[in-house]
């Protein structure tokens, strides 16, 4: 069926709300094509797309179809006593509606559903899956994407985002379904009254908070002044209650919340791109910190699985730290505290992604910690925790992080956790502050010890069907080979689509360059973007920035020339 035929079919099948949006497209063939040229992609990241009418959009029909596919998968692969699915949702537009649609489909298929009675972070969903013994979990979120997006993350029984194999099996079920005829859409309230859908209890949430609080590596006898001034922003997402509760119960009461970004709001009025990686999203919080003379700003993204920070530098200005810089500080501090307090396990393991700074490996080696490199995506870090658990050595895992602001210090959940990260950062900040050291000073000490390493990320948008084809063409051209980039010789080319080093096949290219530099290029798995990760090494910061600028310009020119 052509995209125009599918468009006409939707006009006859949908309710008035969606029909009005479809009628507004009439005569705009490009808009119709973009909304209907394909089904919204389903993979290991689940679904993610623009909210609206069409097969390539997030709406009640595409959510119901995906949910029926997941229901079919659970019914076919799990015994009756394990046929349970946990559901949570964030503050995004229609997240509550989509979560109820999904829950009602699962329940109508005879699957027991557990759903949080209010919006809750992604790590709370991962926790609930394991705590309640579920076969799967669904988190309705588009993470840190702009307000026009929503999404649908799927988790396996281990609390990790689903594997490639599970995603393929679920996709197979979805592809057999007609979007209107096949989903079994029940009535949420009636199914709740019948006991087929149940609220996740306060005891489950409290158990999560207690587990997070146990993650601190600070010994009970160590001197700590926790009355430090901290500014926190949940960026209008889910982090407000769990982060403040965890900090308060851990002794942090001098915390000011950015009022304009305090309450859940899917329109994100003060930060159109609610991502703590982006300076614009952090600007309001940094203003608060300057006014209040606070030395630390914490920010969590809408589903509270990423955490970014800003700290005061020597001149008194608030400066943002990158995900790599925060991760290196945490790794060094956690290792040092565990060794000092006798809590470092035998044969400890640190896990990072292939695009995360290599400097972290040098820090881990100093403390006798093994580094495991995995593909981009925190699910691969979660997978490593599961492997250690199966071997009876889950205690070996001490930290995992990725450059995109995702961290986890324990195996209690299997996805990145910004509640855990917020506590760890506050503990680290207060520990150093008590000893007269700022986080910026400690970072400079690390650079003097291990060498200056500068890591940057550039994203290039490829919207619509034409953009998708251009992105594919670019990756194909990179696989033809490069001799040099930005004047730096290519010393080694790694194509992870071939399944290198025992890792799953992935559409990622890495170029090891002369002078200790590297470039990684990969299409985003969740949004229409191509991401380029640059890593440069140099004797000092100024030299590193100069080299990075030259390399970035060359990479940008190459990508935009396609």
Judge if 185 and 94 occupy the same domain.
yes
* Gyration radius from the chain CA atoms: 23
Judge if 158 and 95 occupy the same domain.
yes
Cα-Cα-Cα-Cα torsion 213, 214, 218, 221, nearest 10 degrees, comes to 100
Judge if 308 and 325 occupy the same domain.
no
- C-alpha to C-alpha distance for 252 and 74, rounded to whole angstroms: 42
- The tokens describing 401, both together, are 């992080």
Domain end point (choices 369, 388, 416):
416
Output the CA torsion sign for 501, 504, 505, 511: negative
| Phi-psi sector, 487: left (phi>0), alpha (psi -120 to 50), beta | left
Instruction: Residue 88: give its domain's CATH number.
Output: 3.40.120.10
Judge if 120 and 153 occupy the same domain.
yes
Q: 155-172: buried (b, 16+ CB within 10 Å) or exposed (e) per residue?
A: bbbbbbbbbeebbebbbe
Among all chains, which residue has been given the structure tokens 């990145």?
A: 416
Tell me which H or E stretch contains 318: strand 318-320
Question: Does residue 432 fall inside a structural domain?
Answer: no
pLDDT for the residue numbered 559: 86
Question: Does residue 401 fall inside a structural domain?
Answer: yes
Query: What are the backbone dihedrals phi and psi of residue 98, each rounded to the nearest 5 degrees, phi first?
Result: -65, -35
Tens-binned pLDDT, residue by residue, of the chain (562 aa) = 799 999 999 999 998 889 999 999 999 999 999 999 999 989 888 999 999 999 999 999 999 999 999 999 999 999 999 999 999 999 999 999 999 999 999 999 999 999 999 999 999 999 999 999 999 999 999 998 999 999 999 999 999 999 889 999 999 999 999 999 999 999 999 999 999 999 999 999 999 999 999 999 999 999 999 999 999 999 999 999 999 999 999 999 999 999 999 999 999 999 989 999 999 999 999 999 999 999 999 999 999 999 999 999 888 899 999 999 999 999 999 999 999 999 999 999 999 998 899 889 999 999 999 999 898 889 999 999 999 999 999 999 999 999 999 999 999 999 999 999 999 999 999 999 999 999 999 999 999 898 888 888 898 988 877 888 888 888 999 998 889 999 999 999 989 998 877 778 889 999 989 987 889 999 886 678 899 999 998 888 899 999 999 999 999 998 887 6
Question: Does residue 441 fall inside a structural domain?
Answer: no
Question: Does residue 158 fall inside a structural domain?
Answer: yes
- The tokens describing 429, both together, are 């900040």
Question: Does residue 445 fall inside a structural domain?
Answer: no
pLDDT for the residue numbered 562: 66
Residues annotated as catalytic (active site), given as ranges: 143
First to last CA, the chain: 31
* Cβ-proximal residues to 28 (8 Å cutoff; 6+ apart), any chain: none
Judge if 109 and 195 occupy the same domain.
yes
- C-alpha to C-alpha distance for 151 and 141, rounded to whole angstroms: 5
Number of independent structural domains in the chain:
4
Domain end point (choices 145, 174, 208):
208
Judge if 354 and 407 occupy the same domain.
yes
- The tokens describing 338, both together, are 């565990």
Structural domain containing residue 504: 452-560
Judge if 174 and 152 occupy the same domain.
yes
Per residue, what are the HEC states of 209-252?
A: HHHHHCCCCCCCCCCCCCCCCEEEECCCCCCHHHHHHHHHHCCC
Domain end point (choices 298, 320, 342):
320
Judge if 103 and 244 occupy the same domain.
no
Angle at 116 between CA 95 and CA 81, to 5 degrees: 115
Judge if 59 and 97 occupy the same domain.
yes
- C-alpha to C-alpha distance for 142 and 303, rounded to whole angstroms: 8
Question: Would strands 136-140 and 84-89 be described as parallel, antiparallel, or unpaired?
Answer: parallel
Judge if 182 and 79 occupy the same domain.
yes
Question: Would strands 112-115 and 197-199 be described as parallel, antiparallel, or unpaired?
Answer: parallel
Question: Would strands 509-513 and 370-374 be described as parallel, antiparallel, or unpaired?
Answer: unpaired
- Using CB atoms within 10 A of its CB, is residue 30 exposed (0-12), middle (13-18) or buried (19+)? exposed
């Amino acid at each position: 069926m052509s995209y125009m035929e599918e468009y006409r079919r939707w006009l006859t099948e949908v309710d008035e709300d969606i029909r009005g949006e479809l009628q507004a497209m009439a005569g705009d063939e490009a808009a119709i094509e973009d909304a209907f040229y394909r089904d919204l992609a389903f993979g290991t990241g689940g679904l993610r797309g623009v909210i609206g009418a069409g097969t390539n959009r997030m709406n009640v029909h595409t959510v119901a179809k995906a949910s029926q596919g997941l229901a079919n998968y659970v019914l076919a692969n799990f015994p009756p006593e394990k046929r349970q699915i946990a559901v949570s949702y964030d503050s995004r537009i229609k997240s509550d509606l989509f979560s109820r649609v999904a829950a009602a489909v699962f329940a109508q298929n005879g699957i027991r559903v557990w759903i949080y009675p209010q919006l809750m972070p992604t790590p709370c969903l991962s926790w609930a899956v394991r705590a309640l013994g579920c076969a799967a979990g669904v988190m309705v979120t588009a993470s840190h994407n702009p307000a026009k997006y929503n999404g649908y993350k799927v988790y396996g029984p281990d609390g990790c985002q689903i594997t490639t194999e599970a995603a393929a099996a679920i996709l197979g079920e979805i592809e057999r379904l007609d979007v209107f005829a096949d989903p079994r859409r029940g009535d949420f309230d009636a199914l709740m009254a019948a006991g087929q859908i149940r609220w996740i209890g306060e005891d489950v949430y409290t158990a999560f908070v207690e587990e997070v609080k146990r993650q601190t590596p600070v010994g009970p006898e160590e001197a700590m002044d926790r009355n430090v001034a901290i500014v926190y922003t949940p960026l209008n997402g889910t982090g407000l209650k769990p982060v403040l509760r965890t900090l308060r119960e851990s002794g942090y009461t001098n915390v000011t919340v950015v009022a304009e970004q305090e309450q859940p709001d899917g329109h994100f009025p003060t930060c159109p791109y609610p991502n703590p990686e982006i300076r614009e999203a952090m600007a309001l919080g940094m203003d608060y910190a300057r006014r209040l003379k606070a030395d630390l700003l914490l920010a969590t993204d809408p589903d509270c699985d990423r955490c970014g920070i800003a700290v005061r530098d020597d001149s008194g200005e608030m400066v943002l730290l990158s995900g790599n810089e925060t991760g290196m500080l945490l790794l060094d501090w956690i290792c040092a505290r565990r060794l000092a307090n006798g809590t470092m396990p035998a044969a400890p393991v640190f896990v990072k992604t292939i695009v995360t700074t290599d400097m972290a490996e040098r820090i881990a080696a100093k403390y006798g910690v093994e580094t495991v490199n995995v593909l981009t995506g925190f699910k691969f870090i979660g997978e490593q925790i599961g492997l250690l658990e199966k071997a009876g050595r889950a205690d070996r895992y001490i930290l995992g992080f990725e450059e995109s602001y995702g961290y986890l210090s324990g195996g209690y959940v299997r996805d990145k956790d910004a509640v855990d990260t917020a506590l760890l950062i506050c503990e680290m900040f207060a520990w150093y502050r008590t000893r007269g050291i700022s986080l910026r000073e400690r970072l400079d000490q690390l650079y003097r010890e291990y060498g200056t390493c500068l890591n940057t990320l550039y994203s290039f948008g490829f919207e619509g069907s034409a953009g998708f084809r251009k992105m594919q063409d670019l990756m194909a051209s990179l696989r033809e080979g490069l001799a040099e980039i930005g004047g730096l010789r290519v010393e080694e080319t790694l194509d992870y689509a071939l399944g290198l080093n025992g890792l799953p096949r992935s559409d990622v290219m890495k170029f090891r360059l002369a002078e200790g530099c590297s470039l990684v290029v990969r299409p985003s798995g969740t949004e229409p973007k191509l991401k380029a990760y640059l890593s440069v090494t140099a004797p000092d910061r100024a030299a590193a920035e100069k080299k990075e600028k030259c390399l970035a310009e060359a990479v940008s020119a190459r990508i935009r020339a396609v």
